[in-house]
Amino acid sequence: MGSLFQFNGFNMFPDLSRPFNTTYKCYSVSMLPGNERQDVENGGKIIMPPSALDQLTRLNVVYPMLFKLTNSKINRVTHAGVLEFVADEGKIYIPYWMMRNLLLEEGDFVEIECVSIPVATYSKFEPQSVEFLDITNPKAVLENCLRNFACLTTGDLIAIKYNNTTYELSVLETKPGPAVTIIECDMNVEFAAPVGYKEPERKEKEEEPMTIDPTELMPEPTGFVAFKGEGTRLDGKKKKDNGANDVVPVQRQAYVRGIPDYDHPFGLLRFDRSVRKVELAEAKPEEDQFREFQGEGFSLKKSRK
């Protein structure tokens, strides 16, 4: 524009492309007059005076308006957007977590410069407490909380609020640069292990001895069982209990442990309701098997010859 109105090297209008660079007194949001502004405290935007808006409109600033905040005493830098232009002249109000990153006290001077930074494509965060793992869907929670932010700066310690709890996250990495804007962007997010988190130690489970004898689960023998009845005296008297008539333990079937089918196809459920006979390891020959009432009789009375 200045080239259109130059006469003999004299520029009738000043150059309007000069940057916005001003110093303000910095205060936390809690010092802002009026009602409490939790929307400012839980985000990454600042409140500036109306004169800043008047000055910015006269300059060729790039929208959205993004600013670099610098503590010149110790050369600490962060970035932020602007929420409103309602602060008192010569003052700005910023979130408390941002003041802590810049190591500022109430009323300290901070330098503000309007900048243009790239759009974020990747960021990595490190939660500062293991309680962050209690959140069911941390990426969705972070995405919702970052809607109140305009920028991310590598090395910052941001604070987000969820379920009346404030969680602090350290910005470990941002791409494509150390400072990025997250307004209308498609950003990949990763989380590092929280501070103080320890991997659980995996202990190999020791095989515990079975409390139940597998043979007790086998069915009782059916059919005829030898010498299972009770004896009776011929004279009608009761038997003497001398311990000889203890109950003989029932002989159950031999326990055979099943063998898994290693060739079973994956994803196939098979319901086998057929009854399989248990094959004994050592089948007794028929000669040795017990046969009831196969003995020879004897007469108590001797025969006369």
- The reported pLDDT for the residue numbered 197 is 87
CA separation, residue 28 to residues 99, 106, 107, 138 (Å): 7, 7, 9, 28
Domains parsed from the chain with CATH numbers: 19-112 (2.40.40.50), 120-189 (3.10.330.10)
Q: Is 7 helix (H, G, I), strand (E, B) or coil?
A: strand
Using DSSP's 3-state secondary structure scheme, residue 119 falls into strand
- Report residue 90 as tokens: 């010569």
Q: What angle do CA 290, 293, 295 make, to 5 degrees?
A: 85
DSSP assigned state of 107? T
| Backbone CA torsion sign across 92, 98, 101, 106 | positive
- Write the CB contacts of 180 (distance below 8 Å, at least 6 apart in sequence): 117, 118, 119, 120, 121, 123, 151, 152, 174
Q: pLDDT of the chain along its 305 residues, tens only?
A: 344 444 444 444 444 456 889 999 999 988 888 777 777 888 899 999 999 999 998 887 878 899 999 999 999 999 999 999 999 999 999 999 999 999 999 999 999 999 999 999 999 999 999 999 999 999 999 999 999 999 999 999 999 989 888 999 999 999 999 999 999 889 999 999 999 888 888 777 776 666 666 666 666 666 666 666 677 777 777 766 655 555 556 666 666 667 777 787 888 887 766 666 655 555 555 566 667 777 777 777 666 65
Rounded to whole angstroms, the Cα distance separating 284 from 288 reads 7
Structure tokens at 101: 């990153």
Contact, 70 vs 24, CB < 8 A? no
Strands 76-84 and 122-127 turn out to be: unpaired
Confidence (pLDDT) at 49: 94
Which three-class secondary structure state does DSSP give residue 232?
A: coil
Residues 6+ apart with CB under 8 A from 189: 122, 123, 124, 125, 139, 142, 143
Cα–Cα distance between 80 and 98 in angstroms, integer?
A: 9
* pTM exceeds 0.75 for this model: no
Supply the pLDDT for residue 262.
Answer: 77
